[in-house]
Amino acid sequence: MHRLQLSIVVPCYNEAETLPLLHQRVSATAHAVVGDDHEIVLINDGSRDDSWRIMQQLAAADPRVVAINLSRNHGHQLALTAGLDLCCGEQILILDADLQDPPELLGEMREVMAREEADVVYAVRRKREGETLFKKATASAFYRVLDRVTDTPIPLDTGDFRLMTRRALDAFLSLPEQARFIRGMVAWVGFRQVPFPYDRAERHAGETNYPLSKMLRLAFDAVTGFSTAPLRFASHASVALAGASLLLLFYIAWGYFRGSPVQGWTSTMLVVTVLSAVQMFVLGMIGEYLGRLYIESKRRPLYLVADIAGPVRARASLGY
Ligand code: UDP
Ligand code: MG
C-alpha cells in the first residue's frame, strides 16, 4: 500500500458551517509542513445538515481530501475509528472539526515528536475558551475520578487531539472493543507518549454535540472499559457493613438485657433502606458490565460506510 507522510483525520457531525474554513486552515498547515505528501480524511457521521455535500465538493476540488460518509450517526468515537482505519499516513493527526483544536499546532507537535522520539504527542488543555463552568467542572472532576479508578494511566484534561506514529496507530487499531474510549485506548497501547500543552479555542460555529447524556455515556464507557473497581465495591461494602452489623448486635443485646427489646422502628427502617440502596447500586453495576459484555459478544461491525469520495489508498475497510 502507498503510504503518505501525514494523515489528518477529522470526524464531523453537523459542521457544514465550519468545513470550508477547516479545509482551508488544515490544508495550508499541511502544505507548509509536509508539502503535497498528505491527506485530509473527513468523516461525515450522519450529519443532518449539508456537511456531506460540502465534503464532496471539497474532495472534488482537492485531490488530497478523502471524504467518508457513514451509513448513519455512529457517534464521535466510532466516526474517528472509521477515519483512523481508512487513513494511510506515517504520521496521523486527530482533529476536531469545530476548530477548537488549532491545526496550526501541527508543526510544533511534529517537532516535539522528533525531539522526544515519541510515538504519541497528546495535547493537554491548559485553558478552555467559551465552555460553560459546568462543562469545565464536570470534565475536570471526571478525569480525576477516572485516574483514581483505572489501572491505565490516562492523561488528565486530554481530548482526542493528538499526533501519532503509524506503529502506535496500528497497535491501537488492533484493539477490537465496541465501547470505545479512544484517549484511554491510546494510553493503554504504550510506547513513548508525551504531553503538549495548548489553549483550547472556542467553537467556530454551531453548538456542542456532546450534551450531558453523551458525556455521561462516554464517562461510563471510560470507567467500565478501563476498570473493574465498581465490581469490587460490593466486597468492600460488605466488610464495612459487617463491622456496622457487629456494633448493632452489641447495641441490641444491651437493649435486651435492660429489658426493652421491642423498640426501634427508626433503626429498622434505616437498615432496610440503606441496605436496599447498596444492593440496588451493586446490582446496577453488575448490570452495567453485563450489558457491555452482551454488546461486545454480538461482535457487530464498529461502523458502516455508505460512500467514499476521493482516493481510497488504505485497505477499503467498510467496517465489515
Ligand atoms: N462528532 C461526531 N459525531 C457525533 C458528535 C460529534 O463526529 O455524534 C464530532 C464533532 O463534529 C466534532 C467532534 O466530534 O468534530 C467533537 O464534538 P463537539 O465539538 O461537539 O464536542 P466538544 O468539543 O463540545 O466536547
Ligand atoms: Mg468541540
DSSP character at residue 130: T
What distances in angstroms separate CA 261 from CA 47, 242, 254, 265, 270, one per listed residue?
68, 22, 9, 12, 18
* pLDDT tens column, 276-320: 888 888 888 888 889 889 988 998 889 999 888 878 766 555 554
Q: Is 40 exposed, middle or buried (0-12, 13-18, 19+ CB in 10 A)?
A: buried
Q: Mean per-residue pLDDT for 216-233?
A: 80
- The distance in angstroms from the start CA to the end CA of the chain is 20
Sign of the C-alpha dihedral, residues 178, 181, 183, 184?
negative
153 or 39, higher pLDDT: 39
Among 103, 91, 70, 116, which Cα is nearest to 3's?
91
Q: What is the mean pLDDT of the chain?
A: 86
In the prediction, which pLDDT does 314 show? 62
What digits encode the pLDDT tens for the residues 138-172? 888 878 887 777 777 778 778 889 999 999 999 99
Coil, helix or strand for 82? helix
Q: Give the residue among 166, 186, 162 at the shortest CA–CA distance from 175.
A: 186
**Mean pLDDT within 24-32:** 94
Closest listed residue to residue 70, CA positions, set 234, 263, 292, 308: 308
138, burial (CB in 10 Å: exposed 0-12, middle 13-18, buried 19+):
middle
Ligand 2 centroid from CA 251, angstroms: 57
| CB half-sphere exposure, 58, CA atoms < 13 A | 28
CA gyration radius for the chain? Answer: 25
* C-alpha–C-alpha distance, residues 106 and 196, integer Å: 11
pLDDT of residue 235: 82
Give the pLDDT of residue 112.
92
For residue 207, the CA-to-ligand 1 centroid distance in Å is 9
Strands 158-165 and 65-70: unpaired
Between the alpha carbon of residue 78 and those of residues 84, 198, 231, 242, the distances in Å are 10, 25, 27, 44
Mean pLDDT (whole number) for 105-128: 89
Do 152 and 228 touch, CB atoms closer than 8 A? no
Amino acid at 24: Q
Ligand of minimum distance to the alpha carbon of 12? 1
Percent of the chain with pLDDT over 70: 94
Q: Which residue has the cell 467518508?
A: 68
Distance CA 88, CA 121 (A): 18
* pLDDT over 90, % of the chain: 38
Residue 165: per-residue pLDDT? 95
Give the mean model confidence (pLDDT) for residues 54-60: 93
What pLDDT, on the 0 to 100 scale, is given for residue 25?
A: 94
- For ligand 2, the distance from its centroid to the CA atom of residue 99, given in whole angstroms, is 7
218 CA to centre of ligand 2 in angstroms:
15
Residues contacting ligand 1 via CB (< 6 Å)? 11-13, 15, 45, 73, 75-76, 79, 96-98, 100, 208-210
The confidence score (pLDDT) of residue 68 equals 93
Report whether 198 contacts 100 (CB < 8 A).
no
- Assess contact for 26 and 105: CB atoms under 8 A: no
* Structure confidence at residue 119 (pLDDT): 94
Per-residue pLDDT tens digits for 70-91: 999 999 999 999 999 999 999 9
What's the whole-number mean pLDDT along residues 33-50? Answer: 92
**What is the number of residues in the chain?**
320
8 Å CB contact between 116 and 110? no
Q: What is the pLDDT at residue 311? A: 82
